[in-house]
Structure 1
Amino acid sequence: MTIGVCAPVDIKMLDWELAGSDLPETHAVPLSTYFVNGLLARGFKVIVYTNSPDIAEPKVYQTEQLTVCVGRMKPQPGRRFFWFEINDMARLIKQHPADFISAFWSYEYAWAAQKSGIPMVVSLHDVALQILLNHKDMFRLVRWAMNYVVVTRASHLIANSDYTYHMLDRSTRRKSRVINNFFSPDLEQMLSPDIEKGDYIVSVLMGFSYRKNAETALKAFAQVRQKHPELEYHLVGAEMEENGLAHQYALQNGLAEGVRFLGQLPFKEVMDQIAGAKALLHPAREESFGMVLLEAMVARTAVIGGEKSGYVPTLLDKGNTGLLCDVESPESIAGAVLQLVEDDTLRARLEEKGYTFAQENYSADAIIQQHLDYYATILGKPLVPTMAGSGTKATAAWSN
């Protein structure tokens, strides 16, 4: 049985012989990458279909158990409805077909897989309409249109949370199944040993946007720092770098004092930032799941999220495993931060409760098995691994 995964995948983080080789930059998306690693560990042959902006021609990397097909990306794909990227990956799928394809996100990867005619499922990891309503621009309009086409054509869908599922229309829900996101089994081993909590809180936000709500978080931190001038606020992620959009906003509004604008970092460095923080603040107004909150819980860092922010209240067990606040209010956010900074007992209790809740509800073993069970239902037959499992084997080769 060969399973295809059409998704944004970080091919440098895959468990294969080519780890450490001179591979092109693809996508720093841990979830789909660890999903591939989970399939490999279970003995399945896997074909990854992904893409990269750093190659002039499509590339194919092959080992006995894992094949990685990398299509090309061009600048400003939204202006072209991602047609170039979709067709490049579709050609690679045709040349290297799998028995079944799991496509992550309902955009270019799923569209490319649908062109193949191979049995497949599409995993929904966001709600395109909600993103459009929070980001009213042409790019998100294009993404919403792509999502509409993909979801309409799809026969089988996976919603990554109850929140995502209930945001779908009735006809779409009828062909959907809820399977939650999961954290990597290697996540704890990835953390640097002997990390001690520093005098800072951290947010990991992909984009300075209305939905991610960094402006309100910066206003809240300014209030916190009036009482705790020793405390820092570390901002990690796209547009969070020095002189980036978040930094410019903070300078223009007198909110930059005590804030470190770290920008995008390798995943391991992101996790070390999270593990060393007194708290992770996630001010997003809407989340279909909230992976960074789950990763912080595994790293034993207390978390703060929005009481009405999509799946976040469920992920935080209605406030039992983290603090919930009104992310529209700087005062409410500041109050939650102050609780964790000033109450060591509360912080320690939430760290342990969050860790236990994550382990009991979002482990990779249980969640990946739910995916495999669903694939078997779609195909009408059991999925039989080809290899013995525990990683890839044999001599590696690659070609253009």
Structure 2
Amino acid sequence: MHIALTGPMTLSMLEPELGAPVPSEGFPFPGTAQLVLDYLRAGHRVTAITTGFDVAAPVRRSSGDLDVVVLPSRARGRGRAFDFFREERHAITAELDAAAPDVIHAHWTYEFGLAARAASAAALVSVHDWAPAIARLNRHPYWYFRWVMQIACLLRRGALVAPSSYIADRVRRWYRQPCAVIPNGVELSAFTPVRPSEQPVVAMLNVGFTDRKNVGTALRAWPAVRRAHPEAVLTLAGPDFEPGGVAEAWAREHDLTSGVRFLGPLEPDAVPAFLGGAALFLHTSREESFGIVLVEAMAAGLPVIVGADSGAAPDVVRPAGLAIDVGDVDAVARAVDQLLSDPARHARMSRSGRDVAAEYTVERSSAAHLELLQELAGAPRTRTKDEA
């Protein structure tokens, strides 16, 4: 079967298979690249189509059953949003039709999902997030344009899959469309529990210092944690959390830097060691469609604190997590104190976490997606009027 997979992806993961570098950074989404590799290992031909801000013309690389295409994308968000990614969508659709696959797997319900719905081959679209929630939390005009794009994508009939019931239930309720649930897969082999240092470290790993990720509440709670545990350290990693970055500037302005380390972005292969040296993982995000980092933290043996109303987060962590009101500074401080003060409970949650994480393997997720794609490849495709 020839599968065209389109979406943002970490291109460096494909370079060993290609035997050559790809002159584009791509995007920090390893899950899509992992699916490309898994589909290849299952014996399928794969055309991977993505975009990049750092290429001026299409880049093409091929080796064996893998073809990789990187299409230019406009760097300015305003330019892309105002015409709903028209240039990018048309280029992706043209490339999909030129590849002539048996089936398409498109990721996210924006430019990639819309481009796939306009292509000739049948497409499975993965609904990775819920745009209304993100727009309300980020309150940025860009996300309202994205919301409109998601509406347009989901109004077009076709196969859908989501990583959690939280997302799938909303698709079914608002769009009256069936939507399968396949949790994201995580490569767990690198996440072996490491004995943390004597100094209790509370780890946080987020993409951006935003209202949605809500790290400010954790920082406001930290002085109370330090009063109960003077040696405790809060370690913040991810974009915006580098020394001197946005998060540290905000923390300094509010006198909240005592006992806090700012690490900044981590390479994927540095994440296991980062988590393995911690005592627990704190995730104050207000909304998650799944939360791969939660699975990674559980695989590293860390109890996890999540929001009780934070989308899919409590369903992902189950008995390995402590679900609280992450908007309440006192509740966050109490939860951290409880887990640092109760070794027996900590140990129980650590064991539960490793058991739960084992359910989210890459192999299981890839096999389930392949089953849907194989069913779809054998089904006839009928275009809607707005796709003609």
Aligned residue identity for 1:219: R
Tell me how far 1:188 sits from its aligned partner: 2.1
Q: Give runs of aligned pairs for residues 1-400 of structure 1, distance below 5 A.
A: 1-14=1-14, 16-18=16-18, 21=21, 23-80=23-80, 81-170=84-173, 172-184=175-187, 187-189=188-190, 191=191, 195-198=194-197, 199=199, 200-317=201-318, 320-359=319-358, 361-380=359-378
Tell me how far 1:169 sits from its aligned partner: 4.9
Q: Answer with 142-151 or 153-162: which moved more.
A: 153-162
State how far apart, in whole Å, the 1-side matches of 2:15 and 2:301 are.
Answer: 25
State how far apart, in whole Å, the 2-side matches of 1:328 and 1:171 are.
Answer: 27
Cα pair distance change 1:118/1:72, threshold 3 Å? same
Tell me how far 1:254 sits from its aligned partner: 0.8
Tell me how far 1:82 sits from its aligned partner: 2.2
Cα pair distance change 1:378/1:61, threshold 3 Å? same
Number of residue pairs the alignment of both structures matches: 374
Tell me how far 1:15 sits from its aligned partner: 7.2
Q: Answer with 232-241 or 90-99: which moved more.
A: 90-99
State how far apart, in whole Å, the 2-side matches of 1:19 and 1:202 are.
Answer: 36
Secondary structure at 1:308 match in 2: coil
Q: Answer with 225-234 or 57-66: which moved more.
A: 225-234
State how far apart, in whole Å, the 2-side matches of 1:19 and 1:54 are.
Answer: 21
Cα pair distance change 1:118/1:22, threshold 3 Å? closer
Q: TM-score, normalised by structure 1?
A: 0.88
- Counterpart of 1:393? none
State how far apart, in whole Å, the 2-side matches of 1:54 and 1:210 are.
Answer: 28
Q: Deviations over 1:129-148 (max 9, x none)?
A: 11111122211101101111
Check the 8 A contact 2:18/2:66 in 1, yes or no. no
Check the 8 A contact 2:27/2:52 in 1, yes or no. yes
Q: Deviations over 1:134-170 (max 9, x none)?
A: 1222111011011111111241111211111122253
Tell me how far 1:343 sits from its aligned partner: 2.4
Tell me how far 1:365 sits from its aligned partner: 2.3
Aligned residue identity for 1:376: Q
State how far apart, in whole Å, the 2-side matches of 1:289 and 1:78 are.
Answer: 28
Check the 8 A contact 2:77/2:142 in 1, yes or no. no
Aligned residue identity for 1:335: R
Secondary structure at 2:261 match in 1: strand
Tell me how far 1:9 sits from its aligned partner: 1.1
State how far apart, in whole Å, the 1-side matches of 2:343 and 2:19 are.
Answer: 41
Q: Answer with 83-92 or 275-284: which moved more.
A: 83-92
State how far apart, in whole Å, the 2-side matches of 1:42 and 1:196 are.
Answer: 36
* Structure 2 gaps, min length 5: 380-388
State how far apart, in whole Å, the 1-side matches of 2:79 and 2:193 are.
Answer: 47
Check the 8 A contact 1:3/1:45 in 2, yes or no. yes
State how far apart, in whole Å, the 1-side matches of 2:26 and 2:227 are.
Answer: 42
Identity of aligned residues (%): 32
Give the structure, 1 or 2, with the largest relative contact order (CA under 8 Å, sep 6 or more). Answer: 1
Tell me how far 1:19 sits from its aligned partner: 5.5
Tell me how far 1:20 sits from its aligned partner: 6.7
Check the 8 A contact 2:324/2:331 in 1, yes or no. yes
Check the 8 A contact 1:235/1:263 in 2, yes or no. yes
Tell me how far 1:278 sits from its aligned partner: 0.8
State how far apart, in whole Å, the 2-side matches of 1:270 and 1:68 are.
Answer: 27
Check the 8 A contact 2:103/2:376 in 1, yes or no. no
Check the 8 A contact 2:102/2:377 in 1, yes or no. no
* Structural RMSD (CA): 2.0
Aligned residue identity for 1:303: V
Q: TM-score, normalised by structure 2?
A: 0.90
State how far apart, in whole Å, the 2-side matches of 1:166 and 1:223 are.
Answer: 38
- Counterpart of 1:386? none
Check the 8 A contact 1:135/1:210 in 2, yes or no. yes
State how far apart, in whole Å, the 1-side matches of 2:333 and 2:33 are.
Answer: 35
State how far apart, in whole Å, the 2-side matches of 1:77 and 1:113 are.
Answer: 21
* Structure 1 gaps, min length 5: 382-400
Check the 8 A contact 2:15/2:22 in 1, yes or no. no
State how far apart, in whole Å, the 1-side matches of 2:45 and 2:21 are.
Answer: 21
Check the 8 A contact 2:11/2:22 in 1, yes or no. no
State how far apart, in whole Å, the 1-side matches of 2:54 and 2:362 are.
Answer: 31
Cα pair distance change 1:77/1:98, threshold 3 Å? farther
Aligned residue identity for 1:249: W
Cα pair distance change 1:243/1:85, threshold 3 Å? farther
